[in-house]
Structure 1
Amino acid sequence: MKTAVILISVFLLFACDQGADSPRGFSLPEGNMEQGYNVFVKYRCQDCHRIAGEKEPENAQYLLAKPIPLGGSSGRIKTYGELVTSIINPSHKLTPRQPASFTSEDGVSLMRVVNDELTVTELIDLVAYLQPKYKVTPYRTSDYRLYQLRIPEKTVE
């Protein structure tokens, strides 16, 4: 029974990675970070986003009450695929728990969809600009001390 469960689990893991809708094999060419910054400015991303760790201009005015941060520390890598998806399909990860200031009344992202304006090269450069803004913070496990088993000493009579 245990072997069957293991085999089914392995099959399901590999099956998820196959098929026409699988992201397996997705790869972008190397982008230009400086051009990516220019794309960020051109499409006015800074109107709603701030880059973690970068100083904001004194006269920064955001369209949202609270700007959405990009970059910063995370427990896992922010992949190219996730960044591309966030740009071309900004509503893909929204949940009812998202702040109302991020979504319209029907739960759709307020982010302007730029798919008909953004070129593939611009997308690649924008992702190249954003990717290094994310830093992976290693997961810290709990520090449980090993319990020492105390064996009572035998008393000599």
Structure 2
Amino acid sequence: MKKRAYVFILSTVALLTACDKPERGNTASFTLPEGNAAHGAELFVKYQCLSCHTLEGYERPAELDESGVSIALGGKVQRLKNYQDLVMSIINPSHRIAHGYDPEIVVRSGESIMPSYNDVMTVTDLIDLVTFLEGQYELQPFEYTEYGLYY
């Protein structure tokens, strides 16, 4: 009986130590599925992103130009280097405040003045907005995560 218990315990330990745990926090290869950039452009306007941001090809409506903030989006920028930075800047705008902006203008009580849309936007909206904005930046090359069909 003791021999079986030892064999069972050793087998279990061997199996558990053989299994690799996934690395936590490593999102370097994670991407959202590709979305609809045209719908993302509509969302960019709907969520009034132009009240604080500028983007080539988009004119800031006069009624939205009261914030005193003008953060340029798109092109080749130092503060947004890869796809993950782009996604994070939408999901958690206070994660990292871009250098070069006056903290007294873009930060209130330690948080970015950019509102959180996490309780407003659907996942599909987020995917589409990211797809739209991704096309506006010169990001480091990356490969999309391949998602299979799930039933």
TM-score category (smaller protein): 0.5 to 0.7
Structure 1 CA distance, aligned partners of 2:99 and 2:73? 21
Q: Is the 8 A contact 2:80 2:86 kept in 1?
A: no
2:90 & 2:129 partners in 1: Cα distance?
9
The gaps in structure 2 that reach 5 residues or longer are 1-21, 140-151
- CA deviation profile, 1:48-78 (whole Å, cap 9, x unmatched): 1111x32525736324213111112236973
Q: Which residue of structure 2 lines up, in the alignment, with residue 10 of structure 1? A: none
Gaps of 5+ in 1: 1-17, 137-157
> Do residues 65 (structure 1) and 68 (structure 2) align?
yes
**What is the CA-CA distance between 1:84 and the residue it aligns to?**
1.1
Question: 1:1-157, aligned counterparts within 5 Å?
Answer: 19-51=23-55, 53-57=56-60, 59=62, 61-74=64-77, 78-94=81-97, 98-99=101-102, 100-104=104-108, 106-135=109-138
- Mean CA deviation greater in 59-68 or 79-88: 59-68
Q: TM-score, normalised by structure 2?
A: 0.66
Cα-to-partner distance string for 1:78-103 (whole Å, 9 max, x where unaligned): 32211110011001112797411111
The separation in 1 between residues aligned to 2:99 and 2:137, in whole angstroms, is 25
Task: Using the aligned pairs only, state the percent identity.
Answer: 39
Cα pair distance change 1:23/1:86, threshold 3 Å? same
Contact 2:54 2:71 in 1 (8 A): yes
Q: Distance in 1 between matches of 2:32 and 2:57?
A: 26
Across the aligned residues of Structure 1 and Structure 2, the Cα RMSD in angstroms comes to 2.7
Q: Secondary structure at the match of 2:72?
A: strand
Do 1:30 and 1:128's aligned partners in 2 also have CA atoms closer than 8 Å? yes
More helix by share: 2
**What residue is the counterpart of 1:4 in the other structure?**
none
- CA–CA separation in structure 1 for the residues paired with 2:79 and 2:52: 24
Question: Which residue does 1:5 correspond to in 2?
Answer: none
